[in-house]
């Protein structure tokens, strides 16, 4: 196991406001980063997010808003930064592709690849999709109506001189690399998808330039005054420009990119090819070794009915609206619990309310509240000691002893956010069942004080252990649990998750400040 951990999210286009799909990747990455900080120490974890600010999409959005591209990106980037803060995203750095450190590294990378002969000039003639910023081959184009195979929007025929990156030279190397590094592309179906694509198709070289006459909002090509860099070649480099640089001899140096670091790129499945094909080849061509434990994990999409949630489809939901209405932690919990990471999921407020009422109000909230109430009632707020446990109690103790490793491995080894939460909730369910079966009021009546003490102390231990594991997912809830259960005594607060009455308006029952 590597002893350092570097996790990234995609850098988001700033042509529109962030929606639930964007927040999903950042919440997942944040949860992993928080978890890894606990196991490796906070100095050994680096969490990067940021914004993708060049390209035609951005230039077009800027033109439409009447601002210069720079003014436009400066304005929109604050929406992303503010949202991450609001959602408790603990990124260590935020990279913008318009920053000097990034532009310098991209320029150096282009020079190095050009000097090596991996970039060449050629005439391009063919179809181009502006919204996707993609060239489409003749076979891909949906010929009848001349539309893009990815987004179905109209495409343009263009003819121009451009620069190309020799992807095709590295196809065999990449196949070998993927085959000898199982777990590099995850989940497994995505690895299969990439491998079969690579085995069935000959890679075409990647066009990495755009003529300035068509687009000038980009990083200038150091070897051609007439061109800027294609936005994807520029964007992928953020993962190394944020954490290191090339030295004079062209060697890339970074604390977060070496054999002792696990590098994890979380992405949506829509950008798998860029991360699992272009990116490893770019690194290899630049002489940058791929860390042994590098992972590209492609998660699924949040859907609205049959459609992907996206700006172009006009069906987006704003993360802040949901977090304001249901609480930040509820929102984080819902996204990571409701859908296995890797699969698509349907978004609806009914599903949030369902999760809230069953898992948060009924299971966790109820366990916390009834335990606090019993400590008040039977022990005047003092947390009792553990004296002796019955069989059921011993099983519960064993379950919470195993909890950190089991729920932690599901997270850090499997990226199974939902199963990790499910494992935590197993312990919570065991404790709730224990309350129902033990009937503590009878123990009190029969004056079985030692049994009552042990019983309650065990509930406290379940809550503390669950609170620790919940922490990366729901940081505010973990703090609130810690505050309510002190070392020796309790400090009862408001119920953590008062049930949402589905007949009245959902937010009318939520306490202030959540
Ligand atoms: N700028 C590029 C990424 C460059 S990374 C070097 C980009 N930006 S994006 O803003 O269009 O989308 C970024 C990511 O947002 C997607 O890959 C995905 O992670 C997330 N999502 C966008 N819509 C989504 C859903 N409906 N559902 C889940 N995530 C999706 O692509």
CA of 329 to the centre of ligand 1 (A): 22
State the DSSP code for 490. B
Average pLDDT over residues 3-8: 98
* pLDDT surpassing 60 at residue 507: no
Is residue 491 a contact partner of residue 484, using CB atoms and an 8 Å limit?
A: yes
* pLDDT surpassing 80 at residue 137: no
Give the number of the atom of ligand 1 that is nearest the alpha carbon of residue 52. 1
d(CA 218, CA 91): 26
* pLDDT surpassing 80 at residue 138: no
- The residue contributing the CA closest to ligand 1 atom 26 is 309
State the DSSP code for 216. -
* pLDDT surpassing 80 at residue 510: no
316-355 residue pLDDT tens: 999 999 999 999 999 999 999 999 999 999 999 999 999 9
CA of 390 to the centre of ligand 1 (A): 51
Pocket of ligand 1 contains residue 52 by CB under 6 Å: yes
CA of 446 to the centre of ligand 1 (A): 61
CA of 268 to the centre of ligand 1 (A): 6
Q: What pLDDT sits at residue 128? A: 86
d(CA 113, CA 135): 21
* pLDDT surpassing 80 at residue 488: yes
* pLDDT surpassing 60 at residue 181: yes
* pLDDT surpassing 90 at residue 208: yes
- The residue contributing the CA closest to ligand 1 atom 16 is 268
Give the number of the atom of ligand 1 that is nearest the alpha carbon of residue 300. 28
Give the number of the atom of ligand 1 that is nearest the alpha carbon of residue 308. 26
- The residue contributing the CA closest to ligand 1 atom 21 is 21
Mutation to probe ligand 1, out of 230, 232, 268, 319 (largest number of atoms < 8 A from CB) = 268
Give the number of the atom of ligand 1 that is nearest the alpha carbon of residue 270. 17
- The residue contributing the CA closest to ligand 1 atom 25 is 21
d(CA 44, CA 355): 34
Pocket of ligand 1 contains residue 270 by CB under 6 Å: yes
pTM above 0.85, yes or no: yes
- The residue contributing the CA closest to ligand 1 atom 24 is 21
List C-alpha distances in Å: 179 to 22, 166, 192, 194: 30, 21, 10, 11
Give the number of the atom of ligand 1 that is nearest the alpha carbon of residue 239. 6
- The residue contributing the CA closest to ligand 1 atom 15 is 22
Pocket of ligand 1 contains residue 21 by CB under 6 Å: yes
Give the number of the atom of ligand 1 that is nearest the alpha carbon of residue 238. 6
The full set of domains in the chain, from first to last, is 4-317 (3.40.50.620), 348-484 (1.10.730.10)
Is residue 410 a contact partner of residue 402, using CB atoms and an 8 Å limit?
A: no
- The residue contributing the CA closest to ligand 1 atom 13 is 12
CA of 23 to the centre of ligand 1 (A): 10
Q: What pLDDT sits at residue 504? A: 59
Could you tell me the two tokens for 483? 């505050």
Q: What pLDDT sits at residue 64? A: 95
Pocket of ligand 1 contains residue 30 by CB under 6 Å: no
* pLDDT surpassing 50 at residue 235: yes
Which candidate, 73, 81, 212, places its Cα nearest to that of 220? 212
d(CA 415, CA 266): 10
Q: Which residues contact 493 (CB under 8 A, 6 or more apart)?
A: 480, 483, 484
* pLDDT surpassing 90 at residue 109: yes
Residue that is written with structure tokens 């490796």 in the block = 40
Q: Which residues contact 144 (CB under 8 A, 6 or more apart)?
A: none
Which candidate, 458, 440, 436, places its Cα nearest to that of 449? 440
State the DSSP code for 499. P
Mutation to probe ligand 1, out of 17, 133, 270, 305 (largest number of atoms < 8 A from CB) = 270
d(CA 273, CA 277): 5
- Whether residue 187 is preceded by a cis peptide bond, meaning omega within 30 degrees of 0, is yes
Percentage of the chain beyond pLDDT 90 is: 87
Is residue 190 a contact partner of residue 248, using CB atoms and an 8 Å limit?
A: no
CA of 256 to the centre of ligand 1 (A): 24
Give 115-120's long-range contacts (Cβ < 8 A, gap of 24+).
116/285, 117/166, 118/165, 118/166, 118/169, 118/285, 119/163, 119/164, 119/165, 119/166, 119/208, 119/223, 120/163, 120/164, 120/166
- The residue contributing the CA closest to ligand 1 atom 9 is 12
- The residue contributing the CA closest to ligand 1 atom 22 is 21
Q: What pLDDT sits at residue 511? A: 44
Q: What pLDDT sits at residue 513? A: 38
CA of 309 to the centre of ligand 1 (A): 11
427-483 residue pLDDT tens: 999 999 999 999 999 999 999 999 999 999 999 999 999 999 999 999 999 999 999
Pocket of ligand 1 contains residue 25 by CB under 6 Å: yes
Average pLDDT of every residue of the chain: 94
d(CA 511, CA 498): 8
């Amino acid at each position: 196991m590597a002893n350092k951990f570097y996790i990234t999210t995609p850098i988001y286009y700033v042509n529109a406001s962030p929606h639930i799909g964007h927040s999903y990747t950042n919440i997942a990455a944040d949860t992993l980063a928080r978890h890894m900080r606990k196991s490796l120490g906070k100095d050994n974890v680096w969490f990067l997010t940021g914004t993708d600010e060049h390209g035609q999409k951005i230039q077009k959005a800027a033109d439409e808003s009447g601002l210069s591209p720079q003014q436009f990106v400066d304005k929109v980037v604050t929406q992303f930064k503010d949202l991450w803060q609001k959602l408790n995203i603990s990124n260590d750095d935020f990279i913008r592709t318009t920053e000097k450190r990034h532009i310098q590294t991209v320029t150096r990378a282009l020079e190095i690849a050009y000097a090596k002969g991996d970039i060449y000039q050629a005439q391009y003639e063919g179809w181009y999709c502006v919204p996707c910023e993609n060239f489409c081959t003749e076979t891909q184009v949906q010929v009848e109506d001349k539309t893009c195979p990815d987004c179905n929007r109209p495409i343009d025929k263009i003819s121009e001189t451009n620069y190309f990156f020799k992807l095709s030279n590295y196809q065999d190397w990449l196949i070998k690399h993927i085959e000898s590094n199982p777990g590099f592309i995850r989940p497994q179906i995505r690895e299969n998808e990439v491998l079969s694509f690579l085995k069935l198709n000959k890679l075409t070289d990647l066009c990495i330039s755009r003529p300035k006459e068509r687009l000038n909002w980009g990083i200038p090509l150091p070897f051609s005054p007439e061109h800027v860099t294609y936005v994807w070649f520029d964007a992928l480099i953020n993962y190394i420009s944020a954490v290191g640089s090339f030295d004079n001899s062209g060697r890339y140096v970074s604390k977060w990119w070496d054999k002792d670091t696990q590098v994890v790129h979380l992405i949506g499945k829509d950008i798998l090819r860029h991360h699992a094909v272009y990116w490893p080849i770019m690194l290899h061509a630049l002489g940058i070794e791929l860390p042994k434990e590098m992972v590209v994990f492609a998660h699924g999409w949040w859907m609205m009915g049959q459609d992907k949630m996206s700006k172009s489809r006009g069906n987006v939901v704003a993360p802040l609206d949901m977090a304001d209405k249901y609480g930040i932690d509820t929102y984080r919990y819902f996204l990571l619990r409701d859908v296995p990471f890797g699969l698509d999921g349907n978004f609806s407020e009914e599903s949030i309310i369902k999760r809230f009422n069953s898992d948060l109000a009924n299971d966790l909230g109820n366990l916390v509240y009834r335990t606090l109430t019993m400590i008040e009632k039977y022990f005047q707020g003092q947390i009792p000691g553990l004296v002796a446990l019955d069989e059921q109690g011993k099983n519960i103790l064993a379950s919470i002893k195993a909890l950190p490793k089991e729920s932690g491995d599901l997270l850090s080894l499997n990226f199974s956010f939902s199963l990790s939460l499910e494992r935590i909730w197993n312990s919570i369910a065991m404790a709730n069942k224990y309350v129902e079966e033990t009937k503590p009021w009878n123990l009190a009546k029969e004056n079985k004080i030692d049994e009552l003490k042990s019983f309650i102390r065990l509930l406290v231990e379940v809550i503390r252990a669950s609170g620790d594991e919940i922490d990366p997912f729901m940081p505010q809830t973990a703090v609130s649990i810690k505050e309510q259960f002190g070392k020796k005594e309790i400090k009862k607060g408001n119920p953590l998750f008062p049930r949402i009455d589905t007949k009245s308006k959902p937010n009318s029952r939520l306490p202030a400040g959540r």
